[in-house]
Amino acid sequence: MKNKLTVIAAVLIVLAVVTACPALAKETYKIGVAAPLTGGLAFLGEGIMNGIKMAQESVGDTKYKYEVIFEDNQHDPKVSVTLANKFFDVDKADAIITIGDESGPVVSPIATAKDKIHMAIAVQRYIAKGYNNFMHWTPADEQTTLLISEMKKRGVKKVAAFRSRYVGFVELFESFKKNLKGSGIELVSDQVHDATAVDFRSQIAMAKKKNPDIYLLLTLPPALEIVAKQLKEAGETKPLTSCEAFGISPEASLFEGEWFIAPAGAQGYYRDAYKARYGSEPPMATGNAIDIFELIVRAVESTNTKSKPSAKQVSDELHKIKYHHGALGIMHIDKDGVVVTKPQPQLIKDARPTPLYDENGLMISSK
Amino acid sequence: MDIWAQIIINSIITGAIYALIVLGFNLIYWVTKFFNIAHGVYAVVAAYTVYFMYTTKGSNVYLSIIAAILAAGLAGLLSDRFVFLPLRKRTASGMTMFVASLGIFTVLQAVVALIFTNQYRMLRKTYTAGKTFNILGGVITETHCIVIIVVFVTLAVLIILRDRTKFGRAVKAIGDDEEVAKIVGINTNKIIATVFFIGAASTGIGGILIGFDTGMMPASGMSLLLNAVTASIIGGAGNILGGLLGSFMLGFAQNASVWWISGEWQDAIAFVMLIIFLLFRPRGIFNE
């Protein structure tokens, strides 16, 4: 009896010491993720969630424990604002990850005001404004430079654009126009449409009249698919291309054989690991989410503090990263807080985006 | 390709699509004298019925279309039976009816979104381009030919119903004066309920054709309705032929404007026309 009491007392003392001593109990670094988990873009949120869980499991031995809270923002910036406040005030999160050019800009000022880390998967550079805000997406200039280079390879002289004013595409289009100068390629028709438009027939007639060599589609589903379908119905056989859009089309078979420029996507080990675990290709933005998690962990672990590092300390470490080999390949963080990666020319083959060039750099057949 | 031939063909197609919504809208306005906002959602109900039966469950396409037209008609009938009829009995004002119709629109749209989500749906099983025909250098698809034929068949049926049947005479009488119609022994409630059924069913046909052509989402009803109201005011609210003319005028204005200004202004063109008509000819072209 006396021995038993001694053992229980010893266990209680050890437990009391462990819980009271921060050096032995790992502190938790919390990251909130606001992503679309329902609706038409739920596949993006699902990929992000799967990717981060994968990265979380392979994080290894660390000074801190990393907890990730996923919430559905329904791809609605208003919901993202609510979630940002919930993450920071209720869950006491240290960092937030957002997706999309709508959510990023509204969460950036909240992260700045509350002195938290914000990593956005978005196109617009200004989302990264402020020392604690970062953006991880292949920059528009990188994408359009490659787009123009691929067009030149195919002898394209005249381009007709169909585009919506979705913020990400505005950035891409402005960059495309800027980089066209001196390229010998002319933008012969620029057809802008409302986000809810479904009838493009007269705009197609206008564009077709200019006899372009290729159509550049910078719009989101369902307008993307409807434009493609109505172009075919109008008897147009010229190739179609895009930056990003074909990769998110739920009806990618419409673009079979067409090449386009995709932002950097998950590759190598990360892509294989995802496929092995989930049985499918990682969706767009999954690789970005994996990288963001790894970059945050790398920065937090690099800080030399006795207690959990402040946002400023983590930001300092993030800004120092000039080389990182992650899910999207080799990357660095520039002075504005943009994680710079390289875009990839891709091809829609068997209704799926695949690399346009094989391992030997040879082009796989495209239109 | 002659661009004007294509723009004229496109205008006819757009006008025909609007007309399918306007014909039913004007018929209901003719007897009730209020703008039934719920009208746009009848098209959505029909399109999603086809989506459920044909696209997802694989039922026969013709059976699905008939069921969808009946579903839209039923939605119109029930709107009248459970909302508008009780309000009429309380001699509710046109504004009350208008607000009630907005309520029906919101509820039905929310129900469709809850069941099918807010995602865009095509009624075709694939996005492949349809069969096309060449007319004077312009291209027209098989679906658009069907749309145009259906518009004129619907128009002919409505005119025959109006001018050649006892029902049509009763509708005219109610349209002129509901109280007098009651005095002469017309069962006005029954006639109005039938008008709601026919008006909503004809709009349902429009919704189905739009669903096959460009697809549909629960929120599509409002943009269809706004264009229908504009076309109705241009042609003359409550006037069947006026609605048809208004639809084609609006379709032409929106398509021809692409020649001069950006396509993103197409909706604005509709509202500019609406304001012009409200200012200078509020009763429309056909109504004196």
Q: pLDDT tens-digit profile of B50-68?
A: 999 999 999 999 999 999 9
Percent of chain A past pLDDT 70, that is, above it, reads 92
Do B204 and B71 contact (CB within 8 A), yes or no?
yes
Residue A7 confidence (pLDDT) above 80: no
Of B130, B223, B255, the CB nearest to A202: B255
Q: Which of A26, A44, A27 is nearest to A35 (CA)?
A: A44
The residues that bridge with B132 in the sheet, in sequence order, are B141
Residues A253/A256/A262/A265 CA torsion (nearest 10 deg): 60
Would you state the pLDDT for residue A313? 96
Structure tokens at A163: 């585009």
Do B244 and B23 contact (CB within 8 A), yes or no?
yes
Would you state the pLDDT for residue A9? 59
Cα radius of gyration (chain B)? 19
Chain B hits for A226, Cβ within 8 Å: 214-215
Reported as half-sphere exposure (CB side, CA atoms, 13 A), residue B221 has a value of: 31
- A322-346: average pLDDT: 93
Would you state the pLDDT for residue A26? 80
The secondary structure of residue A64, as a DSSP letter, is S
By mean pLDDT, which of B121-125, B185-189, B209-213 is the weakest?
A: B121-125
Residue A157 confidence (pLDDT) above 70: yes
By mean pLDDT, which of A74-78, B39-43, B235-239 is the weakest?
A: B235-239
Interchain pair B263, A197: CB under 8 A: yes
Strands laid side by side in the A259-262 sheet: A259-262, A344-349, A352-355
Of B130, B141, B215, the CB nearest to A222: B215
Interface ipTM: 0.83
Tell me which residue has tokens 């329904």: A74
Question: Closest residue of B to A193, CA-based?
Answer: B264
| A234 touching B (Cβ < 8 Å) | yes
Chain B residues with CB within 8 Å of chain A CB: 1, 3, 6-7, 10, 13-14, 117-120, 122, 126-130, 132, 138-139, 141, 214-215, 217, 223, 255-256, 258-259, 262-264, 266-267
Would you state the pLDDT for residue B69? 97
Reported as half-sphere exposure (CB side, CA atoms, 13 A), residue B244 has a value of: 12
> pLDDT tens-digit profile of B96-117?
999 999 999 999 999 999 999 8
Give the dihedral sign, CA B226/A166/A202/A258: negative
> pLDDT tens-digit profile of A26-79?
899 999 999 999 877 888 999 999 999 999 999 888 999 999 999 999 989 999
- A244-272: average pLDDT: 89
Would you state the pLDDT for residue A23? 47
Interchain pair B120, A205: CB under 8 A: no
Structure tokens at B15: 């006008």
Q: Considering only residues A17 and B119, tell me which one the structure prediction assigns the higher pLDDT.
A: B119
**Average of per-residue pLDDT values in chain B:** 91
Tell me the count of A-B CB pairs closer than 8 A.
88
**Average of per-residue pLDDT values in chain A:** 90
Residue A97 confidence (pLDDT) above 90: yes
